[in-house]
Chain A
Amino acid sequence: MNDTTIVVSGLRKRFGSTTALDGMSFAVQPGQVTGFVGPNGAGKSTTMRVILGLDAADEGTALIGGRPYRSLRRPLCHVGSLLDAGALQPSRTARNHLLWLAHSQGLTARRVDAVIEQAGLRAVARRRAGGFSLGMRQRLGIAAALLGDPPALMLDEPFNGMDPEGIVWMRGFLRSLAAQGRAVLVSSHLMSELQDTADHVVVAGRGKVIADASVAQLLAAASGDRVTLRTTAPSAAAVLAQAGATVTVTGPDTLTVSGLAAGAVVALLSAGAVPFSEVSAHRATLEDAYLELTRDAVEFRAAAPEVAR
């Protein structure tokens, strides 16, 4: 596998008064799955459209192996993409959809049959795509992305509409593509979908990158030194806050404490004779890490009740 990468730098784009991209920069490395996450409106889809030369950025560049997409002669042999699984002519069969795409790249029908097999579509290849479930359309989209056997793949929300079995298949499939040395960029607004798939995560918010790190790094940072405390005593929060901890109410009898180790929490509560039922070190999920990172970037989030320190 060659080392084709997708590199975006300093992308800016406005739609009227809305800033869609505000200096988006990141790189997608070969041989791994890069998750591209962020809340709706973070600019993920716009970034992907700019990479594919569909939308023009006001500023900045997006390069595929060092070249702008629009200069590629057979672009599907460089980057396979799936933006919208519903982008199909309903009366055209799955195979014919792939066939015209193949013809546009100078590829043959044999290649079409190969990707049909790869995406598990053989049984429905000669059916009209209009009758496909969203999950089937996602598979067809994946097949289209694989047509040119590209060293880089870019998939926008590929898990959408997939049943649990499909999600498991998709995760395995993405990992196998990365294992073949391809650069795989997968967007999602649900970090949990990427938990067992992505090796690297680019978190976007308000048109720019908030975090760009490996999954391992993110999880370590997010877990931090937080402690989950189960108590019904109203004085618990005040006691801990006085000691310099940040206390958040996360349930009817649950507080999340950061800034103090579990042992210190137990010591403080015991000293203050505050009753509690459980103290445990917090285990962060990728979702937690994401929520933490995007807290400021989410434009319309519910006001979280936060106890004064």
Chain B
Amino acid sequence: MTSGTVTRDRTAAGAGRDGFARVLRAEWTKFRTVRGWAVGTLVAVAAIVGLGLLPGLQGSCGKQGPASTCTLPVGPGGQEVSDSFFFVHQPLAGDGSITVRMTSLTGLLPAGSAGPRGPAGSPGPAGPAGPGTGEEMRAGLAPWTKAGLIVKASTQLGSAYAAVMVTGSHGVRMQDDYVHDTAGPPGTVTPAAPRWLRLTRAGDTLTGAASADGTHWTTIGSAHLAGLPSTVQAGLFTASPQYVEAIGAAGASTGPSQATAAFDHLDRQGTWPANAWTGEKIGGADNAGPLERGGFDQSGGGFTVTGSGDIAPAVSGAAGLGTTITQTLAGTFAGLLLVVVVATMFITAEYRRGLIRTTLAASPRRGRVLAAKALVLGAVTALAGLAAAAVVVTFGQRILRGNGVYVHPATALTEVRLIAGTAALLAVAAVLALAIGAALRRSTVAVTAVIVVIVLPYLLSISVLPAGAARWLLRITPAAGFAVQQSAASYPQVSNLYTPADGYFPLAPWTGFAVLCAWTALALAVAAFLLRRRDA
């Protein structure tokens, strides 16, 4: 009766691909016929969507009338920028230069303990509410307090500029167009050790130089500002950024700081048609307190310029404004938790009941069984993750904005990367969980191990761990894969708490994801080895 069957089978023996397709189909049938696994996957989607669409974040943007709408200036490079400082300026027509000696730079910092921030990244207090007034202050300089010379296309926010400056603790710098930063001589400024600065315009090229004595000059760098108008605004500036102090692991105290710079020996070359200085607070909130408004004083040949704010790329989080679309994916960990439990059970449940013997008797090529299980889990989880992430990234940011939270706009490409990356993160983590389950075989042990290596490092990193430990964990554990969800850029020239809680990861998106993939590949190799070698 079955001789026909046997003959047919022998001819099909070489058809390896058909063989794998059968195993794949069997594993898919297995997955879909256990209601708990399907339900678990759907609940994972619901958790990601639920936590993404029902955020606890509230902000004040647009909540107090049209004037409270939050917008950020856009720089020449197209990115959002901070453009807020005190500017003592007059027009410069055509080429020319300006030289000055800076004799002191002092400042005020918040006295601290302004109250902890929640770890979810509530919008920074630089919003239009204008906080910081009447707060206790102490003497000190923020690391990126800036004062010096600037040439700016206009006083319009976000316009092109180049500046040479002395900073709080990063020495002399030449910066232009918000994102470019070149280091000059180190050290700060005191009356005993003043610093000479010079900024020269020649066409579209701005050159910054510094000197200790006004005689021997060191060129720091040149900036090419394409399309710079022939008449620009040039002069002195002071800015002192939002000051951030970490409180514990995930809290932060922030407040505005202020700086005052003293200048003398001002010398101008070229055509300066107005011949009078205008002091003006550029940018910042309309209703800012006196601390942030700043001012200037001209007496004899000297100037004192007091200012607050920053000329730099805009960031989200503690030192910046609002949050990023990464915030909408905050529920990923909950979905991941469910997904890895289902993925682990997909194999350990077979060991628990002895069903693995039935499986391996039906499909003796064990590596294929593992591969088929991984493919089924990966595909199911990726689809679930894709759906969940697409919903929260699309609608979550609308809800956040509706709540008055400023959400930094992201390019379509970034949104696609976040959605696809979240799907890939969940899928690869599920395969890692499967591999750990196959190696450890016992459900409770394996589920615990999977949560400890994948989910726990992430949760600890965004909650209780100090920044150093958190960054270390997110570099080497499989939780590094969460980096694929980051959408905020960090800049060395902006002091901020670049913490995982605020969506800043120690590794680049795909690098972090590669760490997860490497762990998964290793775990799969070990699982395949053990599965082949051990008695079932």
Contacts and interface: CB of A to CB of B under 8 A. Distances in A.
Chain A complexes with chain B: yes
B6 A54 contact: no
Interface string B384-400: 00000000000000000
A105 B9 CA distance: 10
A36 B492 CA distance: 76
B527 to A, nearest CB: 17
A136 to B, nearest CB: 16
Interface string B1-45: 111011001001101001100110111011001111000000000
A100 B353 contact: no
A50 B25 CA distance: 26
Interface residues of A, number: 47
Contacts of B349: 89
A181 B3 CA distance: 11
B358 interface: yes
A151 B361 contact: no
- Interface of chain A, main secondary structure: loop
Interface in B368-396: none
B354 interface: yes
A91 B35 contact: yes
B362 A99 contact: no
B362 A77 contact: no
Given A65-B6, A75-B362, A100-B30, A86 B22 contact: no
A87 B358 contact: yes
Given A54-B536, A96-B33, A69 B354 contact: no
Interface string B472-486: 000000000000000
B111 interface: no
A150 B2 contact: yes
A148 B358 contact: no
Given A91-B36, A105-B22, A149-B2, A54 B29 contact: no
Interface in B314-357: 349-350, 353-355, 357
B118 interface: no
- From A56, A89, A181, residue with most partner B Cβ within 10 Å: A89
Interface string A72-97: 11111110010110111111110011
Most-contacted residue by chain A among B5, B36, B360, B362 (CB, 10 A): B362
A84 B354 contact: yes
Interface string A52-76: 1111100000000100011111111
A100 B535 contact: no
A197 B327 CA distance: 70
A92 to B, nearest CB: 5
B290 interface: no
A277 B75 CA distance: 119
A89 B355 contact: yes
B409 interface: no
A4 interface: yes
A55 B536 contact: yes
A72 B360 CA distance: 12
A103 B25 contact: yes
A73 B2 contact: no
A282 interface: no
Nearest to A150: B2
B365 interface: yes
B364 interface: yes
B361 A2 contact: no
Contacts of A148: 5
B535 A56 contact: yes
A70 B5 contact: no
A55 B34 CA distance: 28
A163 B293 CA distance: 93
Contacts of A105: 22, 362
Contact of B33 (A4, A73, A99): A99
A106 B18 contact: yes
B68 interface: no
Contact of B357 (A2, A74, A77, A87): A87
12 contacts: A55-B535, A77-B5, A77-B9, A78-B6, A83-B358, A87-B353, A100-B29, A100-B33, A103-B25, A103-B29, A105-B22, A151-B2
Given A4-B6, A49-B357, A100-B27, 7 more contacts: A53-B361, A71-B364, A83-B357, A99-B33, A103-B26, A149-B5, A151-B1
Interface of B: 1-3, 5-6, 9, 12-13, 15, 18-19, 22-23, 25-27, 29-30, 33-36, 349-350, 353-355, 357-365, 535-536
7 closest pairs, A vs B, by CB? A104-B26, A96-B33, A87-B354, A100-B29, A55-B535, A54-B536, A70-B364
